[in-house]
Structure 1
């Protein structure tokens, strides 16, 4: 919403307009921690340079994962591309990180969509494993679950358990 200001109106109108347009300081998006950025990178396909991975070598690795997931959940929805949004992140016991991703523009009940998702599943897995952060997380015992949904309808679920990327490299 542009604010038009003339020199005569500056003191009253323009300052009021700036106050209305500018977001309050408390509403500014907080930057993500290194570990949250690393997790987001496993979803977006952008390596983080393994930032934050040292937090996973501590005894409270699950707690650290939970904190990072909470950051992502608070920032959601995070736009990944024209049709995909990260809408949630949760950690289950055993260092299992589950990402909820909403997809738009497809009908999951159509047969051709189901066939396409079966075809694209291994391609998605290889793409995830190409991110150098993912095999490292696997070496640290982290399982990554990607649950793609259209509305409330499941589209595809990918489970990247700790040795999965090593298996992909061998094939």
Structure 2
């Protein structure tokens, strides 16, 4: 059997940027409108669940729901919002990226789970691209004005992107990261 041909078409890598960046990379990388998917419809969600989903989509919500984090048990409120998002089911963010939900960890940690299709996570060039895209994705997350406010409230955000069973990238946004940007 002949060896596999060398990859000369980097469209899959460009598509990976679209997949992983969701709307976060759209601004920083100026992805053309032809590659961006139409916005997915959101299920009816509480303000805090909408806020959390907005951090994944890269869309500010005007801090809708933040008052639930300023009075009461923050870990409990975050857990309830993630449970609501899990019940709402997966949300397609674009044609290759799906938000599968979130879970919380003690200490105001929210972990988002995102599934990317059409990307081979075992390829060296994919891993190299993801490593180089990570700072761009982090800056995109921090540009959402809701994220620094969550940081001021002590919330840590983690974005787990997977393709198949392989992790593509983990973006860890500690509470003070977006305050420095």
**Structure 1 residue 152 displacement after superposition:** 1.5
Question: Quick one: distance in 1 between partners of 2:106 and 2:160?
Answer: 17
Bigger Cα displacement from structure 2, 88-97 vs 56-65: 56-65
| Pair 1:47–1:30, CA change in 2 (3 A) | closer
- Equivalent residue for 1:122? 135
TM-score (norm 1): 0.79
Structure 1 residue 30, shift from structure 2 partner:
5.9
| Partner Cα distance (1:110, 1:32) in 2 | 38
Per-residue deviation, residues 36-91 of structure 1 (Å, max 9, x unmatched): 00000000011110010010012311111111101111112101111111112100
Aligned to 1:105: 118
Which residue among 135, 144, 152 is the counterpart of 1:139? 152
Equivalent pairs counted in the alignment come to: 140
| Aligned position for 1:4 | none
Structure 2 unaligned segments of length 5 or more: list them: 1-41
Gap runs ≥5 in structure 1:
1-28
> 2:169 pairs with 146, 156, 168, which one?
156
Work out the CA distance in 1 between the residues paired with 2:146 and 2:65: 10
Q: Distance in 1 between matches of 2:101 and 2:43?
A: 17
Runs of 4+ in 1 over 4 A off after TM superposition: none
Q: TM-score when scaled to structure 2?
A: 0.75
Q: Deviations over 1:91-128 (max 9, x none)?
A: 00000000000001100010000010011000000000
| C-alpha spacing 1:77/1:30, structure 2 compared with 1 (3 Å) | closer
> In the TM superposition, what are the counterparts of 1:6-85 in structure 2 within 5 Å?
31-85=44-98
Q: CA RMSD in A?
A: 1.2
Distance 1:74 1:86 in 2: 12
- The structure where helix makes up a greater share of residues is 1
